[in-house]
Amino acid sequence: MTNFKKSTSGIGFIEVMTATVVISIACVGLMMGVVHARSELHSLEMKERATEELLNYMEYWKGRIADGNLSPTERAGDPDGEEIYLIGGLNQKQSVKAKRYYKLRRLNGFNDFGSTDFTRYELECWMRWGDRFMSPSSRYANDLLHERRVSTIMTVFEL
């Protein structure tokens, strides 16, 4: 005859608590991944929006230069910047303020390929904005600045 050991069936308290701890750790890891992915997507959205805004701004100034009726103030550039909203607007909680700038410089007739009689301008536009995820009440709000720059050299043909 064989002796069988008597064992209890079912799940004990220790097993339940161990499973709860393992599941909790996995959930925390998943949540951290989701939060990180969401912040990266928002960061990409902000960069894309800033780039679109800068390209439109540059096209505006290229048109003004081609028109040939720039005032002396406009020729000096905009060192103070113009405030705009990348997302949202005035008095909206989830808005993102940015400042856009431009610098216009007339180039001389010499370049890497020789001299030219054409009028050439270097136009540089850039934008700076603060961190979207910091609340305005935080003492660290807008400490992290992001920047986008675009520039071009434009030749104006006199008619």
pLDDT tens for 112-139 read 767 777 788 899 999 998 866 544 555 6
Residue 6 has pLDDT above 70, yes or no: no
Residue 1 lies inside a defined structural domain of this protein: no
Q: Could you tell me the residue range of the domain that residue 97 belongs to?
A: 13-156
Provide the whole-model pTM.
0.70
- DSSP letters, the chain, are --PPPP---S--HHHHHHHHHHHHHHHHHHHHHHHHHHHHHHHHHHHHHHHHHHHHHHHHHHHHHHHT---HHHHT-EEEEEEEEEES-TT-TT-EEEEEEEEEEEE-SEETTEE--SEEEEEEEEEEE--TTS-TTSTTTT-S-EEEEEEEEEEE---
Q: Can you name the residues that pair with 84 across neighbouring β-strands?
A: 98
**Does the residue 39 lie in any domain?**
yes
The residue assigned the tokens 């910091």 is 134
Q: Say if CB 112 and CB 120 are below 8 A apart.
A: no
Please give the structure tokens belonging to residue 149. Answer: 């720059």
Residue 4 located in a structural domain: no
Asked whether the predicted pLDDT for residue 155 surpasses 70, the reply is yes
Tokens 């009689």, residue? Answer: 117
Give the number of domains in the chain: 1
- Domain membership flag for residue 150: yes
> Which tens digits make up the pLDDT trace of 18-60?
999 999 999 999 999 998 898 888 888 888 999 999 999 999 9
Q: Tell whether 6 is covered by a domain.
A: no
- Give the whole-angstrom CA distance, residue 47 versus residue 14: 50
